[in-house]
């Protein structure tokens, strides 16, 4: 590839990322106008400008409260959750070289869910909920990977890994069911049920303050290490020959992806399909190379969950649980992506 061709490639990539960021910003702004309390785009722009600059208020407290205290935290959480789950899914799929691996299929979501439900059952504070979600999520992934390595033998390693994830996820789900059965029906059970269906309705700036550092701590290393993940796609022997410590790198990547997943599960509940669908969509657009796949996955994940969450709160007079709507949207969308990609994985 010549220097001119290289410059053209980087220009196209920069243009694509710029368009993606612009789409995220436009969708965020448009979503802030949608809801039971109508707020015009001009008023939203004015409220956001006043909030950022500290200028005197020109609008009433009701509009400001709706936009700044309810919609902005929720939309920011949608961005955070979409980015974290989609990036984690792309990482798991690339690390394990398995197109069917995702946070929910690999047991991370169920494990983090069990930890969070246990914390709610024990009436622990928000920080403890997030910590237990991370510990149980990491434990679930470790258990799945250990079981897969122990029993794969002559079996297909991809099939064994998926089946191990299904088994461990089922065990974690059984634990969640037991805690739900034993929970206080007047205090703990509503919180657990609402959390299990997945929702961003109650997210506040305080919740975001506890979640975003963990998400950033998980995603930043993934962005810096994405070039080495490309070498891992050649196989462990070839990657080690090129100077990559595959075992240590795989451990770091799994811990980072699990940290990001567990942090958003703690504030949003169990939201499936995002970590499975979005990497396939991004792979269909930019190819399997992880250095390009991860940024594209992050942008698509943000756009996707912003759109689904806006639909969840605006489609009917009663808000649809995000996890439920995401399953209805995600399943057919995944089938369409598979049909277009013809199940290709290179």
Q: What is the pLDDT of residues 280-336, one digit of tens each?
A: 899 888 888 898 999 999 999 999 999 999 999 888 778 888 888 988 888 888 888
User: Measured at the alpha carbon of residue 297, what is the angle toward residues 294 and 301, in degrees to the nearest 5?
Assistant: 145
Give dist(CA 53, CA 47) in Å, integer.
10
pLDDT reported for residue 87: 96
Task: Give the contacts of 90 (CB within 8 A, at least 6 positions apart).
Answer: 275, 278, 279, 282, 290, 293, 294, 297
Question: What is the full per-residue pLDDT of the chain (346 aa) written as tens digits?
Answer: 545 557 777 788 788 888 989 999 999 999 999 888 888 888 888 888 877 776 656 556 778 888 888 899 999 999 999 999 999 999 988 888 877 788 877 788 889 889 989 999 998 887 788 788 888 988 898 898 888 888 766 566 667 877 888 899 999 999 999 999 999 888 888 888 888 888 898 888 988 998 899 999 999 999 999 888 888 877 777 878 878 888 788 889 988 998 899 889 888 888 888 998 999 899 888 888 898 999 999 999 999 999 999 999 888 778 888 888 988 888 888 888 777 765 554 5
| Residue 273, phi-psi category: left (phi > 0), alpha (psi -120 to 50), beta (remainder) | left
77-341 placed in CATH 3.40.250.10 = no
What local confidence, expressed as pLDDT, does residue 58 receive? 58
Q: What is the pLDDT of residue 101?
A: 80
The answer to whether the CB of 37 falls within 8 A of the CB of 62 is yes
Which pLDDT score, from 0 to 100, does residue 83 have? 97
Task: Give residue 85's pLDDT.
Answer: 95
Distance CA 253, CA 230 (A): 13
pTM reported for the whole predicted model: 0.88
Mark out the alpha helices in 54-156 (DSSP H runs).
Answer: 61-64, 72-95, 108-121, 126-151
> Which pLDDT score, from 0 to 100, does residue 48 have?
82
What whole-number distance in Å separates Cα of residue 88 and Cα of residue 106? 11
Q: How far is CA 132 from CA 18, 259, 318, in A?
A: 37, 11, 32
């Amino acid at each position: 590839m010549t220097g001119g061709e290289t410059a053209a490639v980087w220009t196209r990539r920069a243009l694509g990322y710029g368009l993606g960021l612009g789409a995220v910003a436009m969708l965020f702004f448009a979503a802030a106008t949608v809801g039971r309390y109508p707020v015009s785009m001009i008023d939203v722009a004015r409220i956001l400008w006043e909030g950022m600059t500290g200028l005197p208020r020109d609008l009433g407290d009701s509009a400001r409260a709706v936009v700044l205290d309810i919609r902005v935290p929720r939309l920011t959480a949608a961005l955070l959750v979409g980015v974290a789950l989609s990036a984690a899914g792309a990482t798991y799929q690339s690390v394990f070289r398995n197109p069917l691996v995702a946070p929910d299929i690999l047991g991370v979501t169920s494990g983090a869910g069990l930890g969070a439900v246990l914390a709610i059952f024990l009436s622990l504070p928000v920080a403890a909920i997030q910590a237990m979600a991370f510990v149980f999520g990491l434990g679930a992934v470790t258990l799945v990977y250990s079981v897969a390595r122990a029993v794969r033998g002559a079996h297909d390693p991809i099939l064994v890994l998926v089946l191990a994830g299904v088994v461990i996820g089922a065990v974690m789900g059984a634990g969640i069911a037991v805690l739900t059965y034993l929970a206080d029906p007047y205090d703990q059970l509503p919180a657990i049920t609402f959390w299990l269906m997945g929702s961003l309705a109650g997210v506040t700036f305080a919740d975001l303050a506890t979640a975003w550092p963990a998400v950033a701590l998980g995603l930043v290393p993934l962005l810096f290490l994405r070039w080495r993940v490309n070498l891992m796609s050649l196989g462990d022997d070839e990657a080690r020959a090129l100077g990559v410590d595959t075992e240590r790198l795989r451990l770091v990547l799994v811990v980072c992806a699990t940290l990001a997943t567990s942090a958003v599960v703690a504030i949003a509940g169990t939201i499936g399909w995002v970590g499975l669908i979005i990497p396939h969509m991004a792979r269909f657009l930019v190819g399997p190379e992880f250095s390009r796949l991860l940024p594209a996955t992050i942008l698509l994940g943000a756009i996707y969950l912003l759109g689904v969450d806006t639909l969840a709160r605006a489609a009917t007079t009663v808000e649809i649980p995000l996890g439920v709507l995401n399953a209805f949207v995600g399943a057919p969308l995944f089938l369409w992506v598979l049909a277009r990609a013809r199940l290709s994985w290179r």
